[in-house]
Amino acid sequence: MERGTDRKRSGRKHRRRFVWIIVVLLIIAIAAVMLSYLWKDKSSRKGSQPHIVTESQLKEIINVSELSAFTAVYNGVAQVMNEEKPEKTDYYVSYEARVDVGIDFSRIGIDKDDEEKIIRLTIPEVDITDVVVDIASLDYIFLNDKANAVSVSQEAYKACEEDVKKESAGQEAIFELAEQNAENIVTALVRPVVEPLGYTIEIE
């Protein structure tokens, strides 16, 4: 009887040890899973932290030198005077030209306010960046037949360039559109970089 009792006691002890071993292993497994989850969550949060952007980095993004913000097609007539008698007209020449108006992007001012989370961009004054006269479009009306020489096209081309620059400079609408387009271009370049960091853009 005593041997049977001892066997029962011994079996109970073994079962208890086995149960405890299972419990300990389960605790270790659960702890390992929790630690793994916490580590991944911490890593993902660390990886998702936004990078700091500097003014020099923003400068590199928008520094594309001169860029046309607006292009206008102009039809004009230039008056060419006689060199010896400036009061007399040698000929008139009609022409077609393309006028590019834009800004020097390297001159854009950048002010980064980290406390207010604002990027202030100062846009330089727009200006005529390029003029291209279509030489094939030149059409002449000569008042002085002597002006109809071999070199007339070269002289007329320069006169048309000067004329279109003068005429375009007085067209305020062209410069207003170019300024607005320049602001839109700069904003489009900077926004994808600064908005994810919580910054807003102000144009001055």
Say if CB 62 and CB 189 are below 8 A apart: yes
Cα dihedral 103, 104, 105, 111 sign: negative
In this predicted structure, what is the pLDDT of residue 164? 93
- Average model confidence (pLDDT) for the chain? 78
Q: CA 73 to CA 174: how far, in whole Å? A: 11
CA distances in angstroms from 54 to 12, 59, 110, 199, listed in the order given: 70, 9, 10, 12
Q: What is the mean pLDDT of residues 146-166?
A: 93
Asked whether residue 24 carries a pLDDT value surpassing 70, the answer given is no
In this predicted structure, what is the pLDDT of residue 6? 47
Q: CA 139 to CA 55: how far, in whole Å? A: 51
Q: CA 99 to CA 178: how far, in whole Å? A: 11
In this predicted structure, what is the pLDDT of residue 151? 86
In this predicted structure, what is the pLDDT of residue 55? 79
Say if CB 58 and CB 96 are below 8 A apart: no
Query: Using one digit for the tens of pLDDT, what is the confidence trace for 34-91?
Result: 445 444 444 444 444 445 678 778 877 777 655 678 888 989 999 999 988 989 999 9
For residue 196, how many C-alpha atoms fall within 13 Å in the half-sphere facing its CB?
9
Query: Using one digit for the tens of pLDDT, what is the confidence trace for 116-131?
Result: 999 999 988 888 889 9
In this predicted structure, what is the pLDDT of residue 17? 54
Asked whether residue 8 carries a pLDDT value surpassing 90, the answer given is no
Residue pointed to by tokens 């048309």 = 160
